[in-house]
Structure 1
């Protein structure tokens, strides 16, 4: 009975409250004479008026009032909004949300605070923005996500909101980072054909070793795990296991959030051998030409990489004849009884098209003509996939863009036309460098450089380089116009000043060379460039202590200052997959220099050949050959300052840099010689514990070579040779090469230097 009376009293009170509220809210429609806003502090009245669905002169109703409140709340600027009516005046009373005055982080050691503030801005929480509790919750989750990505699963975030004057708040994120969560167990279950250790060697993730502080391979990342699983799948599919699958992946973290266990369950299936390859569909009557592109060989294990390579080759070949939308699908016909598979390649060339228009997008700074002159696919020409690929690669090789893509799109209403869109993303092409390098032979060198590869978006380059070291000093000013002519002939102008001083003593002699040169680069193919040029230079022998007799004799013939007018020619071809960390391909370069006027007359030439052979994903064999030769002409003496030198990194390691070759009889100073032979053999491998990281490598090597005088014959018996091991590291300071070498063949008075290294670059 008491419960019933309570229910009746409560129902009556609610009914009365509803009646009073409804009576207070209900307003008879009226014509609005004025709108007044109260409560604004920082927000402009115009912002409110622009969002109001009611204007002066409109007829106000309850529905329009509700719409006005919803619209103003949608701005996210107000904490409370009320509407009142005073006669025929509509009064809007608002309470602004607090504004974020400052965002501060405490205890964040893993991240730079600027990085975290950027992450907060991405979720809408930054200085000057309205404070929203929902955004604060999102910010906390984003902060925790950033730490989880770094394997800091135990990170705890506490947020403090401190109100300050003028309706503002300070936000403080106090972070307890905790210890790193590391992979303590990584298992692959269900494998039979390959050992678990072999499969784990394919992964970038592992359970850690003594190099994990550098590789961070024991830090769990979902992205890295997915990549490793795809690597595992590719490994099996490339070895005949056509039906391989990953059944499940379990990732478990310990209660203390310090240890992560990963288990990957796989089903290998049977191994299949290719019994044959069939072509079906329309091959334009060129079946024999397409068959020549097939890289799948019957009798060998099914290889998904070869299948993908073949289908891509087919698609590209169709594109060569204008079929931009050709489709090539591979279908395996499986004979499980004999573990064989017949691969059927089904082709549909679709329709032939030509390129209507080529659009360039993203080049905000670089001029259109700088990009378009690299294109080999032209408008109003048949679509050619080879020319399109070549065009994309040429634009990419400019070095002005971080990404380059060239994609076709159909033209509406036309079945035989496509438009190409070349999208580029520009990057800064100017650089200012200040730094220092140190080498075991050259001492400390300070460097300064200004370089702009794309001056004013014109594609021209302009640079200034300055370098100081114990032995070599350099000042170079150069500029290059890659399209001096419309045919792509480049023009380079160099002005340089070099000083060579072999002794620390400032009173010792030195060689000073000042000159200028003009060089043209003539493209003779898409991969080959021939260089032709001429220059004028003056070389001075600055007298001082330790001057060798050979230099004194040369000065007696030509004087202490001599001039030369050399003509230069060169050729280069670079097929390496990377200029910084090459693993395949080759590089060739040949140069010739002929002094046709001036005090000295000579001719000299060099040839360099490098070959990189990938032995596996991790191992590479590399060869480098370097030959040089010089000869005086017109009965003159060969200029001693044009000699070649050998020894050290880049030559025969284990011998002091520049120490090979003839020496001055009185001082023992190495004079170099006009003939040089250098051969290097390297076996490159991952650094122990670094996994697949290519920025840190180790290598074993064998070097041989020597430098010979003008009156000496190049004989193998005089070659010096060495063997050793080394480390190559692409460090933040630049490439580092460290080598420990032991001479295999040496002679009396040879200068041995077992450990040699170089940080940065020298000129």
Structure 2
């Protein structure tokens, strides 16, 4: 209100509001020229912040409208709980009352979350140390905390806020939480299903009513995001099986009164099943209509499949893009015959205009150099737009492993009809890794591991790694550095420096050692986008420190080895950790080129994954190895070993194949020394672990293994092969891929060492 007291005239926000409502002339202040402006009541806010928000300066004309604007502007800062203007002659005094600021935020009663996670959530809504505080902000904070708990299906969580005043107009906030129990899904219903059993549809979902492994998968915890994903799976299931008019009518989620259980009901309308009657093409197809027809995956007489429609449209668009038509429009227009439950499609295409790429811009690479990204591009600037090359370029950048996201957007160049710019947007991730840990396996026993790797040193795209392993049988120190673009054409170069101490697997655990220091260099030449050939050469000095259980075969095996290698690899698996389909091939040739240790060693591996369904996979692994000496026998220290994980399970690690007498033995004692020939065939049937739902990080498998190791002069005979069968468990655990196997030999011979239960971290097959 406005009042006259000791010559002062005062206008507060409440008076301002009243004056605006009543519009009485008595409230008016005669305009005058400001001689001075003073600010009172500031504690932490800088005076400059206030002056910057005022719509006038000293020497300006002041009136009521400007005063109203000043009050609104200051309140808009969110820093003050009260603002008043007082006028004394031609001096304006701005009197403010600052809102209290947050001195500290703490939590009590939280078990489900780390305190830093909740603090970050509150920072996102504007509540953090040093920020102004009011009751509305506290209410928003309570709602945000409850939302965090709801996201984890804890609907009974209660939050109480305690505000404790402190010094200098500051407050301490404590959020006391009573978390309550997790609300678990008690029931999932799909109402309206007739063509498929309800149980079949529920099996599509990641959400379920729980099992004995729900503590690990958390599949019985409701999540809106998970439910939306499951609804998309349900929709896709019907649309790919002919149900063109399928729809989800509603989704109802009901929470029990105790808030510890919930039920999900999905109401659907299936509609009729439609069959494709015909597919025709209309529009402009660049005189390549036959080529486009071969891209059509829809077939007359087959059930409607929305996925095939989308794939066909995408294939058409991509094919247009391969000829430079970046903005081609392709529409699949259905003509539905509901009487006969048939649908015909007309594929209408309009290629628009052909364009070329003017410029490629890279954004988001704060650490990585531009050249690290640009050298992966197969689409060139000032060349015709080619969607195949752009897609390949994006995949190549993504495969670098330096970025969490890689996107490419085409932007028309203003003022032109035939040019586009490509904007490559990346989101970088940390590429350094420091690891210190321990591992245990039945073969290597307890081992300590330490390593430091940097995949993108100084943003150059180069790799630098140091690894140390202290296992019982294999101790090693390895320093590796790789330049993926040693030449502009993409030839990589890798240097290795290593020091290894090896004790071969023996039953009695002899105390002799094989010490191998060495260096090596290898080059990788990309012959195609999927095939890489490796060339390399190294030098190593092998020394045998004699001790107990030293085999006779190791005599005269120490010395200088110069291995030259040629290898090839092609990896087409959909995942390196949990593959479901695809093929991996490796071939490696090693030549010993030193004058007294000349040999050749060949090894080929093939892995094939065949998806039987979305959940079940059939996997094969085959490996063949052959070694031969050139100016003598094949060096024993280069032998293959068989038995155990990675070979024929159920047999003790590395115990298959030829044996050698022990030096000094009077009883004819022998130990395994491996062989120059190796054959292994593994077959696995992989399935979800019971109770784990669709979680692919935890799977079980049944397997059959066949194989053996043979000496250089021995004939590979299937009659001598060992075989085993069993079951196993694979788990991508927080400490690495872990595999357990329980195998029973189904073909063994006298003297074979059996080990039915085996496990190891990081092995495959």
Question: How would you bin the TM-score normalised by the shorter chain?
Answer: over 0.9
Where 2:238 maps in the other structure, the secondary structure is helix
Counterpart contact for 1:563–1:598, Cα < 8 Å: no
Q: Deviations over 1:716-738 (max 9, x none)?
A: 01111111111111000000001
| SS of residue paired to 1:717 | helix
Q: Residue by residue, what CA displacement relative to the aligned partner does 1:161-197 show, whole Å, maximum 9, x if unpaired?
A: 1111111101111111111111111111111111000
Structure 2 matches for 1:393-432, cutoff 5 A?
Answer: 393-432=395-434
Q: Work out which of the residue numbers 523, 528, 531 in structure 1 matches 2:531.
A: 528
Corresponding residue number in structure 2 for 1:372: 374
Query: How far apart, in 2, do the equivalents of 1:331 and 1:21 lie?
Result: 64
Deviation at 1:281, TM superposition (A): 1.4
Residue of structure 2 equivalent to 1:335: 337
Residue 545 of structure 2 corresponds to 542
Of the candidates 504, 513, 516, which is equivalent to residue 513 of structure 1?
Answer: 516
> Within 5 A, what are the aligned runs for 1:382-401?
382-401=384-403
Q: Distance in 1 between matches of 2:761 and 2:510?
A: 29
Indicate yes or no: 2:103 matched with 1:101. yes
Residue in 2 that maps onto 1:10: none
Q: Is the 8 Å Cα contact of residues 437 and 760 (structure 1) preserved in structure 2?
A: no
Unpaired runs of 5+ residues, structure 2, are 1-14, 662-667
Q: Counterparts of 2:85 and 2:625 in 1: how far apart (Å)? A: 91
* 2:570 paired with 1:568: no
SS at structure 2 position matched to 1:69: helix
Relative distance call for 1:49 and 1:676 in structure 2 (3 A) is: same
Q: 638, 655, 661: which one pairs with 1:659?
A: 655
- Secondary structure in structure 2 of the residue aligned to 1:110: coil
Determine the structure 2 residue equivalent to 1:686: 688
In structure 1, the residue matched to 2:8 is none
Given the alignment, which residue of 466, 469, 477 partners 2:468? 466
Q: Identify the residue that residue 595 of structure 1 maps to in structure 2.
A: 592
**Structure 2 equivalent of residue 9 of structure 1:** none
1:612 has 2:609 as partner: yes
Partner of 1:437: 439
What is the number of equivalent residue pairs in this alignment?
Answer: 740
1:87 lines up with 2:89 in the alignment: yes
Kept in 2, the 8 Å contact 1:438–1:760? The answer is: no
Structure 1 residue 95 displacement after superposition: 0.9
Hey, what does 2:635 align to over in structure 1?
A: 639
Partner Cα separation in structure 2 for residue 606 and residue 651 of structure 1? 14
Task: Give distance in 2, aligned partners of 1:137 and 1:24.
Answer: 40
Residue 454 in structure 1 maps to residue 448 in structure 2: no
Moved more, 742-751 or 661-670: 661-670
Structure 1 position 87, deviation (Å): 2.5
Aligned partner of 1:318 in structure 2 is 320
* Residues 734 and 604 of structure 1, relative CA distance in 2, 3 Å threshold: same
Per-residue deviation, residues 103-140 of structure 1 (Å, max 9, x unmatched): 11111111110000000100000001111221111111
Give the whole-Å Cα distance in 1 for the aligned partners of 2:282 and 2:521: 58
Question: Displacement of 1:708 after TM fit?
Answer: 0.4
Say whether 1:228 aligns with 2:230: yes
In 1, Cα distance between the equivalents of 2:152 and 2:342?
A: 46
Tell me the residue number matched to 1:129: 131
Query: Do the aligned partners of 2:645 and 2:763 also contact (CA within 8 Å) in 1?
Result: no
The counterpart of 1:630, out of the listed 627, 647, 651, is: 627
Q: Is the 8 A contact 1:593 1:604 kept in 2?
A: yes
Q: Is the 8 A contact 1:144 1:157 kept in 2?
A: yes
Contact 1:704 1:719 in 2 (8 A): yes
Residue 239 (structure 2) pairs with residue 237 (structure 1): yes
Secondary structure of 1:576's match?
coil
Q: Work out whether residues 646 and 763 of structure 2, in 8 Å CA contact, stay in contact via their aligned partners in 1.
A: no
Q: Secondary structure at the match of 1:47?
A: helix
CA contact (8 A) 1:562 1:598 kept: no
How far residue 338 of structure 1 moved from its aligned partner, in angstroms, is 2.1
TM-score by length of 2: 0.94
**Measured at CA, do residues 695 and 20 of structure 1 come closer, stay the same or move farther in structure 2, by a change above 3 Å?**
closer
Residues 760 and 577 of structure 1: is their aligned pair in 2 closer, same or farther, counting only changes over 3 Å?
closer
Contact kept? 1:734, 1:761, Cα under 8 Å: no
1:37-186 equivalent positions in 2, closer than 5 A: 37-186=39-188
Find the residue that maps to 1:83 and give its secondary structure. Answer: strand
Q: Deviations for 1:479-525, whole angstroms, at most 9, x for unmatched residues?
A: 11111111111111111111112469998111111111111111111
Query: Greater shift after overlay, 254-263 or 382-391?
Result: 254-263
Give the C-alpha shift of residue 81 in structure 1: 1.1
Shift of the 319–163 alpha-carbon distance from structure 1 to 2, 3 Å rule, reads same
Closer, same or farther: CA 345–507 of 1 in aligned 2, 3 Å: closer
- For residues 660 and 646 of structure 2, the distance between their equivalents in structure 1, rounded to whole angstroms, comes to 24
- Residue in 1 aligned with 2:216? 214
Q: Deviations over 1:341-395 (max 9, x none)?
A: 2222111111111111111111111111111111000011111010001100111
CA RMSD between the two structures: 1.8
Alignment partner of 1:669: what SS? strand
Give secondary structure in 2 for the equivalent of 1:72.
Answer: helix
Aligned equivalent of 2:711? 709
Q: TM-score, normalised by structure 1?
A: 0.95
**How far apart in 1 are the matches of 2:744 and 2:22?**
100
Contact 1:734 1:759 in 2 (8 A): yes
The answer to whether the Cα contact below 8 Å between 1:470 and 1:504 also exists between their aligned partners in 2 is no
Q: Offset at 1:297?
A: 2.0
**Distance (whole Å) between structure 2 residues aligned to residue 176 and residue 31 of structure 1:** 60
Q: Distance in 2 between matches of 1:44 and 1:336?
A: 73
